[in-house]
Amino acid sequence: MNESIKSRIAQLKKEKDVVILAHYYVDGEVQEIADYVGDSYYLAEVATKVPESVILFCGVSFMGESAKILNPEKKVIMADRHADCPMAHMVDMKKIEEVRKEYPDVAVVCYVNSTAEIKTASDVCVTSSNALKIVKKLPNKDIFFIPDHNLGRFIAAQLPEKHFIFNDGYCHVHKAILADDVRKAKEAHPHAQMLAHPECTGDVLELADYVGSTSQIIDYATASDDDEFLIATEMGVFYELMQKNPDKKFFPVGQDQICADMKKVSLEGIAEALEHMDAEVELPEETRNDAHAPLKRMLELASE
Ligand code: 13P
Ligand code: SF4
């Protein structure tokens, strides 16, 4: 059954000049058929380099929107049009206006997990893999970090020279990973290193041996001489962790490290999306234009 869907996908992709990009949180069988798999930063960057005229995105809406904003001439199709990141909606334009009024020299630093509209009101975008590097380079002392306060606080703790204003957005998947669960997991696996995503709460991050984006977690475990790891992020990363490290052991720390939105993406959905090509990312031209500058600034600052 899977084999016939996979060959249908391969044929449609070729016929319609499509490249498939997938995030590490989608199911392993989807990662397996994708042309490129990575963290949010890698996927935004790779989207600017692929030659195909159509990008099919296996991820949540903000990822497809970023690909479209960076490549307005390409058609960007979502593998599942309802896969959305709740955190992307946890800040509004009014809040940004208020902070700009109170702190006229503020830099609005926007985690890519945000809507295109929010990006239009921001000075620069960041992802979990480059936020520290980018915020450090900004000339502004005042930083309004949106929408995720956990990533914001993690970065702020490393940049005492800056003054941060936080927003109260969060990822419900990472928030559900509890420090008590981490302690129990450490007791069960006393030799394991604990690797965490910076969207986890501060008390969980304090217990981590390493904090990084999805790709950084995978790279860290792969380069390490250790062979047991507790993983505090979404379960999708286990696919690549195990592909790259078949002899190492990986354990979740929480009860339910699943992003239901990422899991909406399926092989059947991809075949449908390729067949009909109708789940297209569409943004008003003005939004696209205004959201382009902060994303482009991220790509430039991250690569310097
Ligand atoms: P990465 O940038 O680490 O891939 O994270 C994206 C994300 O949605 C984390 O929840
Ligand atoms: Fe959004 Fe959290 Fe899912 Fe990442 S894991 S896409 S931040 S809900």
Parallel, antiparallel, or unpaired for β 163-166 and 193-196? Answer: unpaired
Nearest ligand, CA 88: 2
Q: Is the CB of 127 under 6 A from ligand 1?
A: yes
The predicted-structure confidence for 202-247, as pLDDT tens digits, reads as follows 999 999 999 999 999 999 999 999 999 999 999 999 999 999 999 9
Treating both helix axes as pointing N-terminal to C-terminal, what angle do 40-47 and 61-70 enclose, rounded to 10 degrees?
30
Band of pLDDT at residue 61, cut at 50, 70 and 90: very high
Which atom of ligand 2 is nearest the CA belonging to 62? 6
Residue with tokens 């720390």: 253
| Cβ within 8 Å of residue 30, ≥6 positions away | 22, 58, 79, 265, 266, 267, 270
Band of pLDDT at residue 1, cut at 50, 70 and 90: low
- Sort residue 277 into left (φ over 0), alpha (ψ -120 to 50) or beta: left
Q: Is the pLDDT of residue 14 over 90?
A: yes
Regarding pTM above 0.85, the answer is yes
Band of pLDDT at residue 143, cut at 50, 70 and 90: very high
Residue with tokens 């984006």: 213
What pLDDT score does 3 carry? Answer: 83
Q: Using CA positions, which residue lies closest to atom 4 of ligand 1?
A: 39
Ligand 2 pocket: which residues have CB below 6 Å?
25, 60, 85-87, 113, 171, 173, 199, 234, 259, 261-262
Which atom of ligand 1 is nearest the CA belonging to 38? 4
The predicted-structure confidence for 259-278, as pLDDT tens digits, reads as follows 999 999 999 999 999 999 98
Return the ∠ at Cα 35 (arms to 290 and 248), rounded to 5°.
Answer: 110
Band of pLDDT at residue 304, cut at 50, 70 and 90: confident
Q: Is the CB of 61 under 6 A from ligand 1?
A: no
Q: Is the CB of 31 under 6 A from ligand 1?
A: no
Treating both helix axes as pointing N-terminal to C-terminal, what angle do 214-223 and 237-244 enclose, rounded to 10 degrees?
20
| Cβ within 8 Å of residue 171, ≥6 positions away | 85, 86, 87, 113, 148, 150, 199
Q: Is the CB of 130 under 6 A from ligand 1?
A: no
Which atom of ligand 1 is nearest the CA belonging to 23? 4
Hey, which residues does 280 pair with through a beta bridge? 77
Q: Is the CB of 148 under 6 A from ligand 1?
A: no
Q: What percent of the chain has pLDDT over 70?
A: 100
Q: Give the start-end residues of each E strand in 69-162.
A: 75-78, 107-111, 124-126, 142-146
Hey, which residues does 231 pair with through a beta bridge? 195, 252
| Cβ within 8 Å of residue 224, ≥6 positions away | 193
Q: Is the pLDDT of residue 79 over 90?
A: yes
> What spacing in Å lies between the alpha carbon of 40 and ligand 1's midpoint?
6
What pLDDT score does 2 carry? Answer: 82
